[in-house]
Structure 1
Amino acid sequence: MSAFLLGTGFRADMGTCIRKLVLLKLIDACEDDGSRIFPAIATVARAAQCSDRQVQREIKGFLDIGLLSLVRAGGQGRRSTNEYALDLDVLSAISKAGWDAYAAGRGFNPKGDTQSPLDEAAKGDKTGPDRVTPETPKGDTGSPPTPPDPSLDPSIEREREREADEGKRAESRETLERRFWKMARGHPQSSGMPKQGWLVEWLKLDPDERDRAERRYPAWLALLKAQAKSHIPALSTYFGQKLFDEVADPQEPEKPLFVDAAPFGPMWQVARLKQLMQPPAPLPPPPSGFLRQMLERQDETGEAARRERQAKLGWPRVNVMHDRAASRQGVTVATALEPLAAMMEAVPVGSETFEAWKLEHELRGWPWLPDPGRQPVVYFPAGGPGALSAFEQAVKQGNEGNTDDGGQRQAAE
């Protein structure tokens, strides 16, 4: 449970008591940064004292409005649930503005309960293992859905028609908001500030103005910082007063020295193997007792014990990479490794080549990969373990002038 977020959740006006109870139950299950939410629908329904279907509707509304994001979809079975994360900026904005105001600012207008009857006669809950409302004499007859609303937001539709009539480039509301939030989340005044006004001003711009505002935004921020401005205007001012026209288009950026490498990808694997091809770190003295006796044996069992211990302790940076990859986090690596990444190939998880690489790691005393989860392929040097010598030679030739492969920067993150 995140006691840190409970206060924000209690203060938030969620519009309905059920919606608030569902939110509080999700907060009860999350970390302080809003991550690692694994809600079982039935568990949330019991806590909020509502039906399973109602919980599903509320979670869908949270996803639509941006309060929740789906981190990983669950599989099949009762114990395999989706993983979600709360957006703390959205939670803070809802806490200050209220659900209805925030939803209106984002053009969110849910159609309501599609399973509710059109007449006033209560028919009870039809879904879920545990009924919440009492069964009526008529029972559950499967009422017709709520009539469809032909327009979620007529004003937005009129705006789109106007732009189409004028021959302007049309973009969906979802695309426009995605571009807006990419700028808003990185703004110096972003933390804890309501952003509905910012979004309104962004939507008022025409397509060419949006392009300029987005393209010149980093240069505008850099100019204000260079001028040592004590106050950075809000994005609503930046858009509304068209301050983006006060700066020139940025020059073509130079190639970055470092890039983010996704776990199990070619750049990630190059950085990992490059570390493993270095001599292992000095190992601490072996412990006393049975393990020491195993390590001192001069037979196959002793050799296997020494390789296992070396794999666990010999390459600390690789172990850090493995820990991050287990949480689906990458590392920062030097772009100078890109030629080596071109020597990699995709190896399907569980294939003969994949198992051959696993055996090669065991023979060399290298730590093996963490569980790739749903990752279908993992990158290794092309040609399998038998062609590893060519990759090792390329690594040795590329060592000069390349002092960082993600280890120190990764630790700094």
Structure 2
Amino acid sequence: MSNPRFSIIPAWIVTDGRLKGSDLKVLCLLGTHTNKEGWCRRSQVKMAEQLGCGRSTVQDSLNRLADIGAVEKRKVESADGRDSAHWYRVILDRAASSNAFGAWDADDEEEFGPISETSLEAPPAGIPAPPAGPEAAPPAGSGPAPINDSSLTSSPNEEERERDRDDEGEENPKALEKRFRKWWSTWPTYATDTEATTRRAWLDLTPDQRKACEERTADYLATAKAAGRKFSKAAATYLSERAWERLGERTGAMVSANAPEAYTAYSRAGRALLLAELLKPERYLALNPIEQKIIDDKPEKRDLIWRDKREKQGWPEASKLIDTTMQRKRFNVPTRIVSIGQSFDKVKVGSEVWQAWQRLHHRRCWPWLPAPEGLEWMQFPRLPDAIEDLDEACELALSEFETALREGRDNDHAA
């Protein structure tokens, strides 16, 4: 397919609160290449080149779209062990939820429900009314003739809008379900939550509690993100605990004061966040059949394959920060980490200290942020005094930074 004019994607995904970053662009790109059955075969490397981003960004978006239910993947493994383009299908229609048919029945009751006696009084369409009797029509009244003014009568559309307004009542089941769906779609664990449990927790709230939940959830999430916490609370737990009430009567100014700022990994704050992500536990990795076959055939390549895999996939959030920086874009850094990073020192690119930090990353199989041409300085934790071995000094500096991170998290939890 060359120069496609359209991209076919499902309309429901556009407003889905689980979308992040380049997800929608990746989906639109797939939608420009699908066949009649919705399938296309695309290379992640080529997609990254077209979108001007890293391959890991495309891969994360594809995984997230698959989790949401907008994309289906079918892997293709080549016989020679090289990466091969996979098949992707854009899913246009979502599977109906357990209570969807009940809501649809309520909408269609007027059209398909039992016929009332009053509706039987009118003659069926297409049958003429009976002829007029022999008696004369009654005389016209003394008043003026009625005015056929559309502004004085209610149109069917206006009556429908009135019914919709009535449906917004607090105790109306249809309105409650609509509000529940709208709120739940914004929650971070929406994709993995149990629908029945979450809905039950929602319905257990009082009307005032539901209203407060809708109004305060965004503040709660912003505060949690600014504190640098990794979110894992299920929506049902959040509702049952009424966690938004812990915010107290914070003003909008206080919330904005804790909002994260944007940096690159070349800055003190950006490097601090990058190291904070690298200090988190490594992601569980397993060899795919192709990698295992290569190692079985050539055992001497085992360390090389594992190192490459760990550097590229072991710390996905850190790799994403590096990709963002290399694309000359910025990312948000929590104020707590910005403060810790203020103590970092400038290190000249190519110097002995810079090389010592590079060796530390190599020993830990961490991804390394390359220095672009023309960049003279990078930021790293300050080295302790009176230690001649630079490798040992870097390890101690990193340990002190990790301690500062831990103390900051403990203070947040205590607050």
TM-score, normalised with respect to structure 2: 0.33
TM-score by length of 1: 0.33
Structure whose CA Rg is larger:
2
* Greater RCO, 1 or 2 (C-alpha within 8 Å, sep 6+): 2
